[in-house]
Structure 1
Amino acid sequence: MRAWLGRGLEALLTLWLLATLCFVLLRAAPGGPFDAEKAAPPEVEAALAAQYRLDRPLLSQYGHWLGDVLRGDLGPSFQYPDYTVNELLAASLPISLVNGGLALLLALGLGVPLGVWAALRAGRWTDRLLMFGAGLGLSVPKFVVAPLLVLVFAVGLQWLPAGGWDGSWRSAVLPVVALALPNLAYCARLTRASLLEVLGADYLRAARGRGLSEARLLFAHALRPGLLPVVAWLSPALINVVSGSAVVEQVFGIPGVGRYFVQGALNRDYTLVLGVVLAIGAAIVLINAFVDALRAAMDPRLRDAQA
């Protein structure tokens, strides 16, 4: 219990430091949220600055913003004046969670079996072919994969829409695949390497010498310890999905948090960027806690260390 309480305090401190650093960096960047090619009259600029507290000292702005956040109010959006940041996140976060979650499930659902298949056929042509494909998937960035998928499946074959979001499975296929491909490739390579190491362990050689079948060796003795590195990889995989969602959502025109983050950063929408950073940071903290609990459940040594 004490360990989990310590982790909770550490998570809150991490979120506070992340938000504070983002607040300072946004204010230090050149330009402002209401800059335009044609300058507004001074009285209009003064009214806007007073409305959004931008005329106050930086420390005062930070104190008011932090107090609002502690009350659950992320403030108004500068770029979308008819909406608050809470409303924008409530509309966009579920879309990003659906796409990111499906991409991670696809990466695990295909990457783990492909990695196991390659490990069981190590050195054969099927293993080399799978690892070559995985290396290719890791080397091609998302901003190249996404347009290629649009070009092939939307423009060429006309099987799927090129962009937009209507909540249907057809509008989710290409974004999910674009997000999943690099993680799928890495998952396959990681599973193969880990399982090969486990299969070469002394206790498995002894079990094989006692006449146990290869299937029983794999499912009863090798698969669980072989998947521990894959479970530990889930945290950076989530970060990869989150960072890649900004590119993918821009390419496909999906109104998710990644797209709002990019637009907010370009337009100096301070409150929107800070709201997205806090939401993503909280999601990553929760995922890290879930991954640690899952690893402890799979590995008794970790469970004893956390007790």
Structure 2
Amino acid sequence: MRRFLARLGEALLTVWLLASLCFVLLRAAPGGPFDTEKSAPPEVQAALEAKYRLDRALPAQYAAWLGDVARGDLGPSFQYPDYTVNQLVAQALPVSLLNGGLALLLALLVGVPLGIWSAMRAGSWLDRLFMLFAGLGLAVPKFVVAPLLVLLFAVTLHWLPAGGWGEWTNVVLPAIALALPNLAYCARLARASMLDVRHAEYLAAARARGLSETRLLFAHALKPALLPVVAWLSPALINIVTGSAVVEQVFGIPGMGRYFVQGALNRDYTLVLGVVLVVGVLIVAINAIVDLMRAQMDPRLRDSVA
């Protein structure tokens, strides 16, 4: 119980530090949410600043915002005056979760079998060809992959829409664009892990007892080979979260990444802080879940996460 409370305290401290750093950096950036090419009358500017508490000193703004967050209120949006940040996050979060979840699922369902298949044929021309394509998948960034997918499947072949949201076809290209780099890394990681496990002494002993390669794979080699893949889920999630900002902009998806980019460009302080706070909580929660999964798969780790 004490260790659980300590880990919970560490998680809360991490989220608080992340949000506080973002608060300071936003205020330090030049410009403001109501700066325009043609300045508004002074009384209008003063009324706007008073409405959004921008006329207060920076510590007072921070204390007021922190108090609102403690009550579950992320504040009003500067860019979307008819909506609160809570409402915008409630609309955007399911979109990003669906897109990111499908991308991660695709990376795992395709990457892990491909990596294991390649490890079982290590040194063959198929293995070398696979490693070549995996390297290309890692080298090409998402802001290149996404437009190429649009050009091929939407513009040239007319199989899928180039953007938008609302139909199941709108999910395909964004999920693939998010998944490809992670799929390549997952496959390479699964291959390297399986190669290490195949040369373990306990597998050599089991093989000497006459067990088939199929039984060796599924009964003895697969579980330890998947441990590095499970540990990789945390950085994979961060990769998907950061990549979603680019992908959602390219495909015009109303997700968290797009709101973050638009909020940053328009100095919508509360919207950016709300997105950072929600994403930070999600990452901390996923890290905890991944630790629990690793502990269930490897008993040696149970004392460290209990």
TM bucket (normalised to shorter chain) is over 0.9
Q: Which residue of 1 aligns with 2:80?
A: 80
Q: Give the drift of 1:169.
A: 1.6
Aligned to 1:243: 242
1:128 counterpart = 2:128: yes
Equivalent position SS for 2:78: coil
SS of match in other structure, 1:227: helix
- Using the TM superposition, give the Cα deviation of residue 25 of structure 1 relative to its aligned residue in structure 2, in angstroms: 0.5
Counterpart position of 2:94: 94
Shift of 1:202: 1.1
Work out the CA distance in 2 between the residues paired with 1:285 and 1:241: 15
Deviations 1:86-113, CA, capped at 9 Å, x for gaps: 0000000000000000000000000000
Q: Which amino acid aligns with 1:201?
A: A
| Secondary structure at the counterpart of residue 240 of structure 2 | helix
User: What is the TM-score normalised by the length of structure 2?
Assistant: 0.99
Identical-pair percentage: 77
Query: What is the CA–CA distance in structure 2 between the aligned matches of 1:306 and 1:147, rounded to whole Å?
Result: 42
Specify the SS of the correspondent of 1:292. helix
1:295 paired to 2:294: yes
CA distance in 2, matches of 1:158, 1:3: 55
- Displacement of 1:71 after TM fit? 0.3
Partner of 1:39: 39
- CA shift at 1:62, angstroms? 0.4
Q: Which amino acid aligns with 1:65?
A: W
Runs (4 or more) in structure 1 with deviation over 4 Å come to: none
Hey, what's the Cα distance between the residues in 1 that align with 2:168 and 2:214? 36
Displacement of 1:157: 0.3
CA distance change for structure 1 residues 305 and 53 in 2, over 3 Å: closer, same or farther? closer
Show CA shifts across 1:257-282 (max 9, x none): 00000000000000000000000000
**CA distance in 1: counterparts of 2:234 and 2:191, whole angstroms:** 19
Deviates more, 1:203-212 or 1:65-74: 203-212
What secondary structure does 1:122 align onto? coil
Match of 1:189 in 2: 188
- 1:2 maps to which residue? 2
Summarize deviations over 1:173-206 as a string: whole Å, max 9, x none.
0000000000000000000000100001111111
Query: How far off its partner does 1:304 sit?
Result: 3.4
- Aligned equivalents of 1:21, 1:27: Cα separation in 2: 10
Secondary structure of the corresponding residue to residue 34 of structure 1: coil
Deviation of 1:133 (Å): 0.7
Question: How many Å apart are 1:306 and its aligned residue?
Answer: 3.4
Q: Secondary structure at the match of 2:191?
A: helix
1:13-58 Cα offsets, whole Å, 9 max, x none, are 1111111100000000000000111111111111100000000000
* AA of the residue aligned to 1:80: Y
Q: How does 1:19-38 map to 2 (within 5 A)?
A: 19-38=19-38
Q: Report the count of equivalent residues.
A: 306
- Specify the alignment match of 1:254 in structure 2: 253
- Superposed CA offset, 1:199-233 (max 9, x none): 01111111111111101111111100000000000
Match of 1:212, SS state, is: coil
Q: Which residue of 2 aligns with 1:203?
A: 202
Which runs of 5 or more residues in structure 1 are unaligned? Answer: none
Normalising to structure 1: TM-score of the pair? Answer: 0.99
What amino acid sits opposite 2:174 in the alignment? P
Which stretch shows the higher mean deviation, 126-135 or 79-88? 126-135
Q: Does the CA contact (< 8 Å) of 2:116 and 2:191 recur in 1?
A: yes
The equivalent of 2:285 in structure 1 is 286
User: 2:100–2:244: 8 Å Cα contact kept in structure 1?
Assistant: yes
CA distance in 2, matches of 1:297, 1:44: 59
Distance 1:173 1:105 in 2: 13
Measured in 2, the distance between the counterparts of 1:3 and 1:157 equals: 56
* RMSD over equivalenced CA pairs, Å: 0.7
Q: Does 1:149 align with 2:130?
A: no
Kept in 1, the 8 Å contact 2:292–2:305? The answer is no
Report the equivalent of 1:51: 51
Query: What residue identity is the alignment partner of 2:238?
Result: I
Output the CA distance in 1 between the equivalents of 2:133 and 2:3.
42
1:144 Cα deviation after fit:
0.3
Paired amino acid for 1:145: V
Answering whether residue 113 of structure 2 is matched by residue 113 of structure 1, we say: yes
Which sections of structure 2, spanning at least 5 residues, go unmatched? none
